[in-house]
Amino acid sequence: MTKSELVEQLTQSNEVLNKREAEMIVNTIFDSIGQALVGGDRVEIRGFGSFTVRERDAREARNPKSGALVQIPAKKTPFFKTGKELRERVNVF
């Protein structure tokens, strides 16, 4: 599902919202999650999952084309862990 499909589904399931309002709601939610992660916070949505930031250590890798060693610096990456209810709903089928 894409973001535009999510907006469309939100407008269809709620007659009070128009497309612009639904898009603003979706953008606000995603922006809030992103800002919390940038600030180092953890975001938990009960029944769905939690978003955290994990630090990856610096490492060496190989360039697949030339085989030369490449240094990859340490970095932070977003990480999503599914909640128990979501895992159970997915594994029903």
Q: At what angle do helices 3-13 and 19-38 cross, to 10 degrees?
A: 130
Reported as a single tens digit per residue, the pLDDT across 39-90 is: 999 999 999 999 999 999 999 999 999 999 999 999 999 999 999 999 999 9
CATH number at residue 82: 4.10.520.10
In the numeric block, the tokens 């469309």 are attached to 8
Residue 61 lies in a domain: yes
Residue 43 lies in a domain: yes
Determine the pLDDT at residue 92.
82
d(CA 84, CA 52) in angstroms, rounded, equals 16
Residue 39 lies in a domain: yes
Count of domains in the chain?
1
What is the chain's mean pLDDT, rounded? 94
Strand order in the sheet with 75-82: 43-45, 49-56, 75-82
Task: Tell whether the model's pLDDT for residue 93 goes beyond 70.
Answer: no
Reported as a single tens digit per residue, the pLDDT across 22-39 is: 999 999 999 999 999 999
Per the structure, the complete domain to which residue 58 belongs is given by 3-88
How far, in Å, are 7, 9, 30, 92 from residue 1 at the CA level?
A: 10, 10, 15, 20
Residue 93 lies in a domain: no
